[in-house]
Chains A and B, each alone.
Chain A
Amino acid sequence: MEVVVRADREGDSARLILAGPFDLPHAVTTAQEIANIEASLAGCRAVELDLAGVDDIDGAGAVQLAGLVDRVEAQGSTTQVLDEHNPKAARLIALYRQRRTVTPPVVPRPYPILARLGSVAGQLPRTLASALDFVGHSAAAAGPALTAPHTVNWRALPHLVQQVGADGLPVASGANLLVGLIIGFLGVSQLGRFGATVYVPELVVVAHFRELGPLVTAIVIAGRSGAGLASEIATMKVSEEIDALRAMGFDPVRWLVVPRCVALVLALPVLTWVGDLLALLGGMVATTSLTDMSTRGYVMATAHAITATGLLAGLIKTPFLALAIGLIACGQGLATQGGAAAVGARTTTAVVLSIFSVIVISALFTLLFALIGL
């Protein structure tokens, strides 16, 4: 059965004859019927709604008829809902009319790009201040963490080291192995043009030990563990676990951030060192498979190229990279406000900032080593 909305007009009064199903499946048709008939009610002083033909009505139909009655009355007409034949429909219409609140429409303000830039720039000092505040708070927490070890969750440390280190070993190792392979292939193809493939082992050692090993490992750990730590702490924040820690007298920075940063500082150098070894393997596979250099020759050349300075120049920066990842991930987690969406947003920010900061710190170390002649 189809929805029928008909107006029988007599002078300045009209009777709206309603028939058919006024329910959600017919809501679009009902809206069209109402829109068609509304114009013909202009100038009416009295409008009656005859609900006798309404054979099914639900909230959607009642809302539409309530809206019609409200609009007719807003134009100065009086309305009457004839309810004797369909009290349920009349009751529903009355219910939705009674509950209706007039909320002023929100006009979206124009927000041009310059205003957005200004807004971001305006927030920058506060963001910077809170980041420095968090770093300061974390540094201040390190001392008491040693003098009052019970205020730090040291029991979580072995599990965290396993999470960051052992569980991250396959992906970090795989990435380093492939990078070693890539350097080997590049070295063979480029140095081979000058007949200098004998220097490929040294290239792999220098490039990977000093720069790429720590960088690649830190980026992998920033993506993997940084995201994990940020989302874990962010979830704790939105589920009020952080508030519970505070209420019990714990400092969340000392209890949560310190062990996570310590775990990263312990695990990252080891992962980097293992990664360095695998990169050498990758370089060896590439070189020995593409040139006539023997495995023994490659190993000898590599051993000759490895120096304590080169190895330490790479490993010495890993604790700083680990600290950056830990502080950014935990800081973003603790700054979370809101619900599930905020957890995702903070985790994304943590990963992006961690990776960017890892690259910046590596670049600064390279600059420093160049300046001091290392």
Chain B
Amino acid sequence: MAQSRPHIVVEDLRIGWGTRVLMEHVTFDVERGTTFTILGGSGSGKSTLLRHLIGLERPLAGSIDIDGIGVPHRYEGVPRFGVLFQSGALFGSMSLEENLALPLTTWTSIRGSLMRELVEAKLDLVGLGPFARHLPGEISGGMKKRAGIARAMMLEPELLFFDEPSAGLDPITAYELDQLILTLSRDLGITIVVVTHELPSIFLVADACIVLDKAAKGIVARGDPRTLRDQSNIPFVHGFFTRSSPAAAASHGVR
């Protein structure tokens, strides 16, 4: 049955530019309805991998299937997944409600009061109901990200990609955003792929993860982040989850 198949299947992906290979042998599955995190240090290629997953870049080799269909076909019709970019990527000349209405006016015949009702409901869902008529320049960074999530959800996708949702946010706002991700995943059953290196977010929202390492040019660990934190004997992974240097981890017996 389609429902039992992984939502995303990535097989033997090689990413890079020309002859320069950034990562290779990247293989992983994302189960339907789970929150999956892509982890790694700065420059490890997390955001680049995300750009490949959403079809903005083409891999040198390998395949990415979403719902059994290759990613390059994603943009041939109504997008079936939503994306939150790091900055929120809202259109500065449009109010929040206009930003949210844009996918509906482009891809559906919904107009008028029904459109307003759906837009208001999504803004309420992310706690921005009273800011519907504000321009993106008039709200904070955390609010922009929440508005970006609401816009990504307007076409009711079953899959959402988040690029560094907590980056640059204060702990309370970051926690609220994590709670929103949990709501989307548990109450709405949406599959969520998050690129992050914020440890509190990882332990709160992630069901599974992969860890990328720049030196290894690929995935160095995969699984439940809590298990990896407690049991991994790879110095980089141990150092990543315990905020310590890999050299120190190695000297303490982590091989």
Contact = CB atoms under 8 A, between A and B. Distances in A.
B39 to A, nearest CB: 28
B105 to A, nearest CB: 13
A342 B137 CA distance: 10
A58 B156 contact: yes
B183 A341 contact: no
Interface residues of A, number: 29
A28 interface: yes
B121 A63 contact: yes
A100 B124 contact: yes
A158 interface: no
Contacts of A100: 121, 124, 129
Given A24-B108, A99-B125, A339 B187 contact: no
A24 B93 contact: no
A92 B188 contact: yes
Contact of A341 (B92, B117, B124): B92
Given A92-B187, A101-B130, A341 B93 contact: yes
A147 interface: no
A65 to B, nearest CB: 11
Contacts of B122: 59
A311 interface: no
B82 to A, nearest CB: 11
Given A96-B121, A101-B130, A24 B155 contact: yes
Contacts of A63: 117-118, 121
Interface in A60-92: 60, 63-64, 66-67, 88, 91-92
Interface residues of B, number: 28
Nearest to B114: A31
B156 A60 contact: yes
B92 A339 contact: yes
A262 interface: no
Contacts of A67: 117, 121
Contacts of A88: 189
The A interface, classified by DSSP as helix, strand, loop or mixed, is helix
Interface in B112-149: 114, 117-118, 120-122, 124-125, 127, 129-130, 132-133, 135-137
Interface string B144-160: 00000000010110000
A91 B188 CA distance: 9
Given A24-B156, A101-B130, A339 B124 contact: no
A135 to B, nearest CB: 28
Contacts of B114: 27-28, 31, 64
Contacts of A25: 108
Given A59-B121, A59-B122, A339-B137, A95 B183 contact: yes
Contact of A59 (B110, B133, B135, B153): B153
A59 B137 CA distance: 28
Contact of B156 (A23, A66, A91, A103): A23
Interface of A: 23-25, 27-28, 31, 58-60, 63-64, 66-67, 88, 91-92, 95-96, 99-101, 103, 106, 337-342
6 contacts: A24-B155, A59-B122, A95-B188, A99-B125, A106-B133, A340-B92
Interface of B: 92-93, 108-110, 114, 117-118, 120-122, 124-125, 127, 129-130, 132-133, 135-137, 153, 155-156, 183, 187-189
Give the top 4 A-B pairs by smallest Cβ distance, nearest first.
A339-B92, A341-B93, A101-B129, A63-B121
